Amino acid sequence: MSDSHSLLDTIADSLAPVHRDGHKFIAIALVVTLLLFLIWSPLGWIAALITAWIIYFFRDPDRVTPLRDGLVIAPADGKVSLIESVRPPAELELGDEERVRVSIFLSVFDVHIQRAPVAGRIIRSLYIPGAFLNAALDKASEENERRAIVIETATGTKVGVVQIAGLVARRIVTLAAEGDSVGVGERFGLIRFGSRVDTYLPPGAFAAVAVGQRAIGGETVLADLRSTEPEREARRH
């Protein structure tokens, strides 16, 4: 009995709940799957696989977020695709001083929930319509549809986060509005079906991750504002 219970616990722990934004897509997929099974079973099995992927896409796992002051946490799951010092986009209203931008690319297989990189108040949230270029491209930061968010901490530090729609993504969902207070690691949005998230660190801060590294939203430390460590170097093995 105990072995069976342990196995069930292990299976349950590996399953993540589905975010409510995905419920309508799953319902539609299930109806289509049933209809296709009635028409021709091979089509039904194909639809069943697509339905399973939709359930997987909208998974919303719990995360264990570091709480020490000064840490900037990854807002999204995915691959760190770019780290560079740039002037922040005008829509963030963060001035002209260069900041390190950490870009995380989300494939269609990554968790697509975005989480607050720091605790504070959302002092700016602006939607910008645009194109749907490949989110991995550098120019996607300026040309793609996106939502620009600035979170100000209790000490006045401002961190910018930009949700960028990609080649497949067609919808940026906002779960927290301008003026809301958010805790570090708290869910603030999601992007449907492939995208990118840029984080603009405070001036003088260095990234604690490297290009090519996998980030886990709500858990991976992007930067330590209390540290004097320079930008990290890394090697792929």
A 10 A CB-CB count for 27 gives 11
| Spatial separation of the C-alpha atoms in residues 62 and 48, rounded to whole Å | 26
* Residue tagged active-site, from 103, 125, 141, 195: 195
Q: Show contacts of 150-156: CB within 8 Å, 24+ apart.
A: 150/92, 150/93, 150/94, 150/122, 150/123, 150/124, 150/125, 151/116, 151/117, 151/118, 151/120, 151/121, 151/122, 151/123, 151/182, 152/120, 152/121, 152/123, 153/118, 153/119, 153/120, 154/119, 154/120
| Spatial separation of the C-alpha atoms in residues 212 and 81, rounded to whole Å | 6
Q: Which amino acid is at 37?
A: F
Six-digit token string for 196: 């990118």
Catalytic, 41? Answer: no
Gyration radius of the chain's alpha carbons:
19
| Catalytic residue annotation | 195
